[in-house]
Amino acid sequence: MRRAAQVRRLPRVDDPLPTFAANLRRIREERGLSQEALALRADMDPAEVRRIEAGKRDPGVRILTRLAAGLDTVPAELLAGIAATASKD
């Protein structure tokens, strides 16, 4: 007889975009860069940077890496404060 597989709950993840967008804006401003200057350094369209900072676009790993390089930082700094939390259900 086969035992039923135990179902393990995945961690609950809050929407990471607002935190990511705030981190991006804060770091960009600390570097004294405009959205246009960051876009140029990251080889991106300025409208895309604006959408990401507004939380309207979810950047993938490639974009995350390009933004970090444009800000002369590591991707982890842009992701600071984003974490999964154990489900209370």
Q: Domain for residue 2, yes or no? A: no
Confidence band, pLDDT 50/70/90 cuts, at residue 6: confident
Between 2-11, 14-23, 46-55, 72-81, the lowest mean confidence (pLDDT) is in 2-11
Q: Domain for residue 38, yes or no? A: yes
Q: Domain for residue 50, yes or no? A: yes
Q: If you ran DSSP here, which 8-state letter would residue 31 be given?
A: T
CATH of the domain at 65: 1.10.260.40
pTM of the model: 0.80
Would the pLDDT of 20 be above 70? yes
pLDDT at 18 (0 to 100): 95
Q: Domain for residue 41, yes or no? A: yes
Give the integer Cα–Cα distance in Å for 18 and 26: 12
The number of domains in the chain is 1
Top-confidence residue, 83 or 23: 23
- What is the 3 state secondary structure string of 1-22? CCCCCCCCCCCECCCCHHHHHH
pLDDT at 1 (0 to 100): 57
Can you state the angle between helices 17-30 and 46-53, rounded to 10 degrees?
Answer: 120
Tokens linked to 49: 């940077």
